[in-house]
Structure formats: C-alpha cells, structure tokens
Amino acid sequence: MTALVTIEGLTKRFPKQAEPALRSVSTQIRSGHIVGLVGPDGSGKTTFLRLIAGLLRPDEGGIDVGGFDPVANAKEVRARIAYMPQRFGLYEDLSVEENLNLYADLRGLVGSARKATFERLLDFTGLAPFTGRLAGALSGGMKQKLGLACALVVTPELLLLDEPSVGVDPISRRELWRMVSRLTDEGITVVWATAYLDEAEKCETVLVLSEGDLIFDGRPTDLAARVAGRVFLIEGIEGDRRYVLNRARQHEAVMDGTIQASHVRLLLNENARALSLASIGAGDEARLKPVAPRFEDAFIDLIGGGFRAESPFAGGSQRSHDIAIAVEARGLTRMFGSFTAASEISFDVRRGEVFGLIGPNGAGKSTTFKMLSGLLKPTSGEARIAGVDLRTAASEARARLGYMAQKFSLYGDLSTMQNLRFFARVYGLTGARQRTMIARMIESFALTDKLDENSGQLPLGFKQRLSLACAVMHEPDVLFLDEPTSGVDPRTRREFWAHINAMVTNGVTVIVTTHFLDEAEYCDRAALIYRGQMIALGTPAELKAQAASSTMPNPTFEDAFIALVEKNEAETSP
Amino acid sequence: MSFSRFAAIMRKETRQAIRDPSTLMIAGLLPIMLIFLFGYAVSFDPRQFSVGVVVEQPTGETESFVASLRNTRYFEIETAPVRKDFETLMAAGELDAIIILPQDFSAIALRGEAAPIQILVDGGDPNTAGLVGSYIELLVINWLEQEWLDRGQPPLAPLVSIEPRVWFNAEISSRNYLVPGSVAIILTIIGALLTALVVAREWERGTMEALLATPVGPLELLLGKLVPYFVLGLGSFMLSVFVAVAFFGVPFRGSFLALSLAAALFMLCSLGQGLLISTLTRNQLVAAQVAVMLAFLPAFYFSNFVFELDSMPLALQLFSYAIPARFLVSTLQTQFLAGNVWSVLLPDLAALAIFAIVIFAVCALFTRTRLD
C-alpha cells in the first residue's frame, strides 16, 4: 500500500513555550488505514492534525499529503481532506440540516448528488428523524455523528478526527468506531486522535506521542508484544491491596503497578527475576497470574515506567479522621427546569473508602458530587458529611471536606505560593501550622521550582498537583475529587493515585468522579451513573460479575458499563 | 472567490444573526436607546439660572431693574439687602450668580455713567458662568436703553445696530444638531459591536477550525460575514433617522439618498473595524471591550459631535482626520439642517470611501486561513 501522507522531521514550536509542541516527527500514513494518534493532553496530537490540515505552518520539516504541501497548496489539500476538530465544529444555533447544507455549499456539493449524499449520511448516522433540530439541542453522541456527517459531505481521501470520543458515552463511542471502520472499507484513510489508550488497540497502526516526541509508530500488537510475559495480577492478597501496591511500586523488579479491583496489576522489568510476593507483604495465599498486556502497560513501558516513589502522604497524618460513615446520600434529586440531572441517588460511603462515581460526561456525576459537597442544593433528598447535615450546617460540614474541582479553579494570576497561602488562610490555617502545611505540600507535590510562576501558566500536570495540594492542605476527613486525572498523562495519573491511596490508608475518605471507566478499578466501590440515574452500585469485581456472560467471561469495565446500561434500559422500558 | 461559498457563509451568518437575540437588540434596540439618550439627556440649551440680587437701597430704578430680570424666562430671582446669605448659597451651588446693586445705583445709572453693577458668577462650570455673565450684561444694557427711552433722554447712540438672524437652526435648539450628530456615534457603536463578536465567536466555539479546513477563502469568509450585518446596520441607520425626524422633529433638508450613501460607506468602516478587532482578539469579551473603547471613544471625542474640534490643540485636530466619524458628522449635520451642500458632502464621501477601502484591506490582510 502507498503512503497517503509523508511526514519528514516535522517540528512545531509555539511562542512563549520553551519546549516544541512536536519534535522532529517522521512517519508515513498509509491509504485505507485507521491510524490511532495516541497520547495524553498536551502531547501534540491536535498540533499534528492541524499541521496535516494546513492550519498551522511547520517550523521545520515537511508534510506531503497526496503530493501536495498543506501550506503552499492549501486549496488542493483542503479539497482532499476532512477535519473534525474537538467539539465537532458545529454551529449550535443552526439545525442539523442547515449545518449539513453549509458544509455541502462550502465543498461545492450540489443538486442531486447532494440529495443522495444527505440521504446516505443521515441514514448512516441515524440522524434522519432530527434534521430540523438545532445542533445545540442534540446529545453528545448525536453531535459527534453530525460532526462526522458534516466532515463527510464530500468523500475525502483523508479524514482527521480530533478526539471524537471525548465527552461521549461509551455506547455512542462504540457506534462511532463501527461507523468509521466502515469508511475505511470505502478507501478513506482515517487519523483518529485519542487520549483513551484502549481505543488505540483497535487501530491498524498507532502513532504514540509523548511530550511532542513520536515514541512509537507501528502495529498495536507489536507494541503490546514489548511487554508480553511481563504483566501479572497478584491475586488472593491478604490484607490491604493498597499497601501491597505501595510496596510493589518501589520494588526494583517492578516498572509499574495499579490497583485492579481486588488485585494488583504489575508490569515487571524486562530482565526482572522472579518477584517474591512475601517481600511486598501480599500474604501466603497470594499468587502471580500472568495476564494479557494492555496498551497502557506498553505505553508506560515506552515512557520508562510509572510513578515509583513513595507518596509523601504515606506514614500517617496528624488527624485521626475518626468518623464512622463519611458520606450519606439519601434520595438526592436535582432538577434544572424540567430536566432531571440526578434522580433519587442514595448510598453510604464508609471511612477510609475510595468511592467512585462513574459515568460518561453529562450523566449527572458532577451534579451528584456538587450536592454531596454542599455546592448545589438538592431539589429533594439530603446529604450528610461525617454525620453533619449539609442543609443545616454547611460550613461545619465543609470544614471537614476538601474539594478539587473538575476545571482548574485556582487563581491563574496568582503564583503557586500565593495560591497555597490563600487557600491555607481560607481553611483557617495560621502561624506555624500554616507554614508547616505549606512546606509539606510544596515538598509532597514537587512544587519547589514553580513557586513564583503564575499558576495559570503551569503545565497541566502541575496545575492538577497544585489543585490537589490546595484541597488537602487542611487535612480534610473527606476528599472530593472531580475528574482529577482527566487529560493528565498516565504517569501523573499514577502519581495521583499513589497520593490518594496513601491518604486513604491514613483514614481519609475519597469520593472521585471519572469518565475513564477503567479507573473504577481503583475504587473500593463504585456507583455507575447514567442519564441521572444510579444504575448499579458495588465493588468493581461485583459490577463486572454482573455483566459477565458466556460470550464475555472477562468483561472490561467498559463492557460492564455498557451491559449494565442495556440491562437497565431493558428493565425500565416496558 | 466562489459565489456559492460566499453565499453559504452569508446564509449561515444571516440565520445566526436572526436567531441570536443579542444581535437584534444591538441593531434594533440600541439605536433607539442611544438616540433618546442623546436627544434628551445631552443639551446645551440654557436652562433657568438662579440669581440672587442684592438691593442695598431699594428705589424705583432698582425695582424696575429687578422686574426686567424677572420678565425673562432665563432667571429665577431672589432679592436680599445684603450679600452675605447669597454667598453661602452660591458656595453650596444653589445660586449661579449674584448681582449687587449698590446704594448709589439709581443715581449713577441715570447719569449715564458706566453701570456700577457687580456681578459675581459661580465659575465652577465655566460654560454656565460664561452664559450667565453675558445674559446679565445684555439685560443690563437693554434695561438702561429702556430707562433712557422712558425718560425721554437720548440713548447712548449705538454706532452699529445688531439684529441677529439664526440660520439653519432657527430655534437655536442644541437638539437639532446633537441628534443628527448622534447618528454617527450610534452607527459607530452598532457597526463595531455587530461584527466584533462574529469572528471571535467562531474561534471560541471551535467552529473556525472546521470552517478553515474547508476550501473557503479569506475573501469569501470576510464578505459573507459582512453582508448580513451591513444590511442590519443600514436598518439601524434608517431607524435612527426616522426617530430623529418623526420624534424629535429635527428638520431634514438634504437628500436622503446622499445621506444613505455616506452612511453606507461609514457602516463599512464601522463593520470593518469590528471584524478586524474580532479577528485579532479571537475572544468575544475582549473584542466587545476593545470595540467600545476603540470605536466609540474616538468617535465621541473627535467627530465634532459634542466637542468642537476648532477649539482643540492642533495635534488633536490633525488626529481627528483619522476618525471616520468626523466625516459623517459634518455630512449628517449639513444634510439635516442645511441641505445638500456639495462642498461638504463630496469630500466627506471621498474620505469615507478611502477609510472603507483601507480598513478592508487591513482586514483581508489579517484574515488568514491558518491558525498561526
């Protein structure tokens, strides 16, 4: 097969950024393939796509799209490619049909050809019944399909999709994948950028970006082969699996470790000798079971291993966090107008538990979360933190909780140190205690070099660290984390979980929301939220067991989620 | 340049404009609000002044003098035998002026010597101070002439007799020149605000990227975005002129066609300025603020609308030639009050056309089909 896109030594710098967004990337994209463009936020995916589309000018190196240079021959290149940017590039105040018409006009599709194409696209995307609806009134999944349809009004040679699956529920995500796979059968080449590592596994070839470097270019199976025979589960752990993980992470034979339901998943070093389970305190019954590697294992291997240091939060805190039930939710319901964002949500969270609220964007996680933390008044139902009713003693309850918001919500114009001091004072830390705690946060989150920088200018990983530091400085009993790891790279994600695990061992209770369904594995228990309803509650193992079937004996968490959603829909619809 | 792509962008913009209530508010409501504001709130016409008259020695003459003051509609008169109380009132801002008629007022006044009247004026507001001062002076002269006539004495024969006739604005109503001038300010704000948001909005919502990845060219984009707002802007112009004539009764003596031509050229400048701001800022909030600052303030200060350019330092007078509104205000004022004065209209039209061309050239220069 021939190369449709050839890229040689491509480098792109942005003003005011020390490091280039892309550093001498060379690769070829072959016709008729789905190419996965994988990497965490800020790794250079969007820049890569924009360069191919001729929306940015390269600083060094060259791009050739079917014989044309995207900058010098912008017209020719743009006539051959279709590009769906993040958020799909739709006009929300135009209807489905008007959006399609606009792109058809711009691409010169007229007459009977247009009619036929629209029919085919509307049928393909299932949007035919909604042609008159404003794009802004569509669900996330439908917007995604309309975005795709607009990109496809004229069949392109190359389709560039920038994170098409972000913010879309897992069911729509799978549907989109099926639709795009069909396109490659028609000979369209697709570049699919994603931060979801599991999506990359399904691509024919993958380009893995990390901090602007292309660190892998090849078949996903070849990537997985790198770590074949090195991935294990420790099963049958006696005692605290988080303790075992913490010991294991620091073991010389281990490159990476994560919690996977009641087990610990390990990636061993290439030349690791056997790992003695006794040496990491897993107990007599524990055994190592080899498992199939995942893309993420290989990614961690590529970037040289996960977070291996001891979390500075390990080894106890000054407070005992002596509460029995940390959080009680009783029939929490919240309406926005006639829209029910959360309906009758009830659960208890015990002291020292990691409790997950899991679901796609817009499912009602954040609404539930805000009601629990006292930021949003429930329409009905009640919430208690450490036995204190949020309605009657909100400030008392809030003093016992720490909250890390989904979006960066510190003061971007204040320096790191100023933010720390401000939040210390807000939480009533003064004098020697304030100095001690700030010093501890700076040390724990490695902020020493960034103290004088404006927090708005920090790299994403540091922003998240600073947000977490500000949320835990007053040693809260209950910690609320709203999408703490959204967009951060897998290594920082592991660092975060190391801190969270250490705090939990000290008796802190953690409630976390995430749309990375696999992060549910890190939780002790998780509630699955879908369309404002809590459709399941249990340990990760229980939830997966509910979804297991003869055709799918070992479902992933995403499989489990989809199965539970379908089950729930079958039960609720007559 | 492809007509169908231009038309596609234009149709899209039109739909968005119609569906966005803020666009219609800017084009429909804002002109009416502003013209009423300028029509009612800003006025340089004399109001009633409060004047205290100190009569140290009441006589027939002082009585007739005070009565003559009272007979005008400009003054509200209080009298007192000493000035002390009035001084306090003037310090408190309740009196605009004090007139002191000394003990020997009658005697001296009728001898025909220089009027021995002391006038104290509150100089806090120089405009008012000047007005009050000169009104009182005129009234004193009138009164003296009257007195002499009554007594059969020959008046101090004036060498020249002045009989003022006011042309163009016979009522000397400041509204008659403020309201036409305000149309320029209104079109400046509306034009800039209408387009300041349209490009920035596309950047913020992420639609610009999708648009740029299609074969659309900069000119198609620019014109497609311009035309719908140009039509809306002309609508605002007609609305403003209608309110000025029908509601404020400002006479219109020129040719509507000529004025519309000037307004259309000016609208292009204004819209182009908004587009440029939007293209450069890529942020709706910043664009709106910049539009108000950059478009409104210079137009307000340097267009001869309120502040007379002739009384400004030379440097600022020269600067005013860089402000398109300056060339519309003069056309507006002559078209409303004087009629078709070609020596005003033609240079103005030429200047506005040059502005429009330059602004669009700059706009086209900055409209890229790339992100960097």
Which are the contacts of A46, defined by CB distance < 8 A and separation ≥ 6? A86, A162, A163, A193
Q: Which of A55, A65, A81, A97 to probe by mutation at the B interface, max B CB count within 10 Å?
A: A55
Chain B nearest C-alpha distance from A490 (Å): 27
A489 Rama class: left (phi>0) / alpha (psi -120 to 50) / beta: beta
pLDDT per residue as tens digits for the range B111-143: 666 656 788 888 777 777 777 777 887 787 788
Of B207, B212, B371, the CB nearest to A91: B207
pLDDT by residue for chain B (372 residues), tens only, comes to 789 999 999 999 999 999 988 888 989 999 999 999 888 877 666 667 888 888 888 888 888 888 888 887 778 888 888 888 888 888 888 888 888 888 887 777 666 666 567 888 887 777 777 777 778 877 877 887 777 777 776 655 554 555 656 566 656 577 887 889 899 999 999 999 889 888 898 988 889 989 988 888 888 999 999 999 999 999 999 999 999 999 988 889 999 999 999 999 999 999 999 999 998 988 889 999 998 888 888 998 999 888 888 889 999 999 999 999 999 999 998 898 888 889 989 999 999 999 999 999 999 888 877 877
CB contact under 8 A, B210 and A107: no
Question: In the numeric block, which tokens belong to residue B279?
Answer: 């293209």
Number of H helices, E strands in chain B: 16, 4
Q: Which residue among A55, A82, A101 sits closest to B209, beta carbon to beta carbon?
A: A55
Q: Are A234 and A288 in contact (CB under 8 A)?
A: yes
Nearest CA in chain B to A90: B207
Q: With contact defined as beta carbons under 8 Å apart, do A557 and A356 qualify?
A: no
Backbone region of residue A326 per phi and psi (left: phi > 0; alpha: psi in -120 to 50; beta: other values): alpha
3-state secondary structure of A327: strand
Contacts of A92 in chain B (CB under 8 A): 205
Kindly state whether A154 is in contact with chain B, defined as any CB-CB distance less than 8 angstroms. no
- pLDDT tens string, chain A, 574 residues long: the values are 578 999 999 999 998 777 899 999 999 999 988 999 998 878 899 999 999 999 999 999 999 999 999 999 988 999 999 999 988 889 999 999 999 999 999 999 998 999 999 999 999 888 999 999 999 888 878 888 999 999 999 999 999 999 888 767 778 888 888 889 988 888 899 999 988 877 888 899 999 998 899 999 999 889 888 899 999 999 988 888 888 888 888 888 899 999 988 899 999 988 877 778 888 888 888 888 999 888 889 989 988 888 888 888 877 666 677 777 889 999 999 998 888 889 999 999 999 899 999 887 778 888 898 898 888 899 999 998 888 888 888 788 888 889 998 777 888 889 999 999 999 998 888 899 999 999 999 988 888 888 998 888 888 788 888 999 999 998 899 999 988 887 778 888 888 899 999 899 888 999 998 877 778 888 999 999 888 899 999 999 898 888 888 888 878 888 888 888 888 888 876 5
Of A79, A94, A102, the CB nearest to B215: A79
Sheet holding A3-12, edge to edge: A22-30, A3-12, A60-65
pLDDT at A573: 63
Model pLDDT, residue A58: 95
CB contact under 8 Å between A102 and B11, yes or no, is yes
CA distances, B264 to each of A109, A147, B191, B358 (Å)? 34, 38, 11, 15
Neighbouring residues of A543: CB distance < 8 A, sequence distance ≥ 6 = A520, A526, A528, A536, A557, A560, A564
Task: Say if CB B17 and CB B226 are below 8 A apart.
Answer: no
Amino acid in position A194: T
Q: Compute φ and ψ for A84, nearest 5 degrees.
A: -110, 105
Mutate to test the interface with A, among B214, B219, B367 (most CBs of A within 10 A): B214
Torsion, CA A291, CA A297, CA A298, CA A300, rounded to 10: -160
Partner-chain residue, chosen from B15, B16, B215, that has the shortest CB–CB distance to A107: B215
B84: helix, strand or coil = helix
**Chain A residues touching residue B9 (CB < 8 angstroms):** 106
Q: The tokens 């794009």 sit on which residue? A: A135
CA–CA gap between residue B324 and residue B265 (Å, rounded): 10
Amino acid B170: pLDDT: 59
Rounded to 5 degrees, φ, ψ at A58 are -70, 150
Residue A354 belongs to what H/E stretch? strand A354-358
Q: CB contact, 8 Å: A102 with chain B?
A: yes
Q: How far is CA A506 from CA A328, A436, B32, in A?
A: 21, 19, 66
Among all chains, which residue has been given the structure tokens 């600052």?
B293
- A87 lies within 8 A of chain B by CB: yes
Distance CA B320, CA B334 (A): 19
Distance CA A494, CA A254 (A): 14
Residue A368 CA to residue A332 CA, distance in Å, equals 7
Phi then psi for residue A380, to 5 deg, are -150, 165
Cβ neighbour number for residue B121 with a 10 Å cutoff: 22
For B169, other C-beta atoms within 10 Å of its C-beta total 17
Extract the runs of DSSP E, i.e. beta strands, from chain B.
49-55, 75-80, 97-101, 118-121
Crossing angle for the helix pair A460-472 and A490-505, to the nearest 10 degrees: 10
User: CA B27 to CA A469: how far, in whole Å?
Assistant: 49
**Contacts A–B by Cβ distance under 8 A:** 87
Mutation target vs A (from B5, B12, B20, B211; most A CBs, 10 A cutoff)? B12
CA atoms B346, B348, B351, B356: torsion sign: negative
The angle formed by the CA atoms of residues A406, A408 and A412, to the nearest 5 degrees, is: 165
Rounded alpha-carbon distances, angstroms, from residue A535 to A69, A116, A139, A543, A569: 51, 41, 20, 11, 10
Q: How far is CA B71 from CA A126, B51, B101, B208, in A?
A: 85, 13, 18, 69
- Closest-CA residue to A398 (of A477, A334, A468): A477
Contacts for B94 with CB less than 8 Å, ≥ 6 apart:
B50
Record: contact A78-B214, CB cut-off 8 A = yes
CA–CA gap between residue A248 and residue B84 (Å, rounded): 96
User: Residue B372 and residue A107: Cβ atoms within 8 Å?
Assistant: no
Give me the half-sphere count of Cα atoms (radius 13 Å) on the Cβ side of residue A418. 11
Contacts (Cβ under 8 Å, ≥6 apart) of A195: A38, A39, A40, A41, A45, A163, A166, A487
Inter-chain contact B213–A103, Cβ cutoff 8 Å? no
Residues of B with a Cβ under 8 Å from any A Cβ are 2, 4-5, 7-9, 11-12, 15-16, 19-20, 205-207, 209-216, 369-372
CB contact under 8 A, A103 and B214: yes
Residues 452-471 of A with CB under 8 A from B: none
Nearest to B352 by CA among B259, B268, B254: B268
Alpha-carbon distance of A442 to A425, in angstroms, equals 16
Instruction: Give the residue from chain A lying closest to B7, CA to CA.
Output: A105
Would you state the structure tokens that stand for residue B217, as one six-digit string? 């060219």
Identify from A45, A49, A87, A93 which residue to disrupt to test chain B contact, counting B C-beta atoms within 10 A and taking the largest count: A93
Spatial separation of the C-alpha atoms in residues A165 and A37, rounded to whole Å = 13
Please tell me which residue of chain B has the smallest CA distance to A110.
B4
CA of B24 to nearest chain A CA: how many angstroms apart?
Answer: 15
CA–CA–CA angle B192, B198, B199 (5° rounding): 105
Minimal CA separation from B187 to chain A, in Å: 27
Residues in chain B closer than 8 A to A101 (CB atoms):
8, 11
> Could you tell me how far CA A260 lies from the centroid of its own chain?
17
Name the minimum distance, in Å, from the CA of A362 to any CA of chain B.
19
Whether residue A295 contacts residue A231, with contact meaning beta carbons closer than 8 Å, is answered with no
Closest partner residue to A50 among B211, B215, B371, by Cβ?
B371
Measured distance CA(B271)–CA(A91) in Å, rounded:
22
C-beta atoms of A85 and B213 within 8 A = yes
pLDDT score for A41: 79
Q: Whole-angstrom Cα distance, residue A212 to residue A210?
A: 5
Note whether ipTM > 0.95 here: no
* Sheet with A287-290, side-by-side order of all strands: A254-260, A263-268, A231-235, A287-290
User: Backbone phi, then psi, for B78, in 5-degree steps?
Assistant: -125, 150
Place of tokens 């009905």: A380
Are the beta carbons of A89 and B210 separated by less than 8 Å? Answer: yes
Check residue B338 and report its DSSP letter. T
Between CA A166 and CA B219 the distance in angstroms is 34
The encoded tokens of residue A556 equal 């992933």
Q: In Å, how far is B27's CA from the nearest CA of chain A?
A: 19
Cα(A213)–Cα(A302) distance, integer angstroms: 11
As a whole number of angstroms, the distance between CA B198 and CA B65 comes to 65
Is residue A158 classed as helix, strand or coil in its secondary structure?
strand
Query: Nearest residue of B to residue A159 by CA position?
Result: B213
DSSP strands (E only) in B8-167: 49-55, 75-80, 97-101, 118-121
A20 in reach of chain B (CB within 8 A): no
**Mapping DSSP to helix (H, G, I), strand (E, B) and coil, where does residue B60 land?**
helix
Cβ neighbors of A434 (< 8 A, separation 6 or more) are: A421, A424, A425
